[in-house]
Amino acid sequence: MLMIRLIRPVTRALDWIPLLLSGLLVVLLVSVIDAGSSLGSGTALTLLRTAGPLLGAAAGFTVLDEMAASTAASPVPRVLRHRIRYAAGALTAGACWSAACAIAVARLPAGAVLRVPGMAVEAAACVVAGLLAATVAARRYEGRTAALAGTGALVAVFSVTLVLRGPYWPWLYPGEPAWESVHLGWAAALALLLVALDVAGQGPRKTR
């Protein structure tokens, strides 16, 4: 009951602008690239895979709590407020990614497919990683600086892993045997990230 009563005031205090703008950008890119023709499955995969870290970085801004100093003595547990923020950011990012994915699937040529479940797990892990990075950065930095620090960390990891072209970013080659096993690893990583996020939301805030 307490959580339900908190949803409205907490969500009204969120910094929605970065996430909503990023979501709009993701949907527009999937809609306008190669407009007037079918969207290749490789292009769709690249766009949706890039959208995950982008939305995760933007979701990090919903972690910010500008009233943290004044509400530190509040009887409402800090972790409860953070869980509402996490849920709001993650669900909004997920809705934006799902909309972009639906558009991409609708634009595929006849016979082409996307392995949506595995791609969705990748995107979910990236979003949770963005929330976690911002939460950890908020222990050291104030305001939007924390979200920007978390964004920088997430984008850096994403860029480096893509350049290294490791097996953790499998492509949509027909019958690629590694796809299923790699995404079992992504699912395990997602579970670990969720646990880490919940733990990070419980700890005391540290200021300089």
The tens-digit pLDDT sequence of the chain (208 residues) is: 555 667 777 778 788 999 999 999 999 999 999 888 899 999 999 999 999 999 999 999 998 866 554 444 455 566 787 888 999 999 999 999 999 999 999 999 988 889 999 999 999 999 999 999 988 888 787 777 777 877 888 888 888 887 787 788 888 776 677 888 999 999 999 999 999 998 988 765 444 3
Q: What is the pTM of this model?
A: 0.87
Q: Which of 55, 58, 64, 53 is nearest to 155 (CA)?
A: 53
Burial 57-68 (b: 16+ CB within 10 A, else e): bbbbbbbbbeeb
HEC string of the chain?
A: CHHHHHHHHHHHCCCCHHHHHHHHHHHHHHHHCCCCCCCCHHHHHHHHHHHHHHHHHHHHHHHCCCCCCCCCCCCCCHHHHHHHHHHHHHHHHHHHHHHHHHHHHHHCCCCCCCCHHHHHHHHHHHHHHHHHHHHHHCCCCCCHHHHHHHHHHHHHHHHHHHHHCCCCCCCCCCCCCHHHHHHHHHHHHHHHHHHHHHHHHHCCCCCC
Q: What are the tens digits of pLDDT across the range 21-55?
A: 999 999 999 999 988 889 999 999 999 999 999 99
Looking up tokens 């500008």, which residue turns up?
66
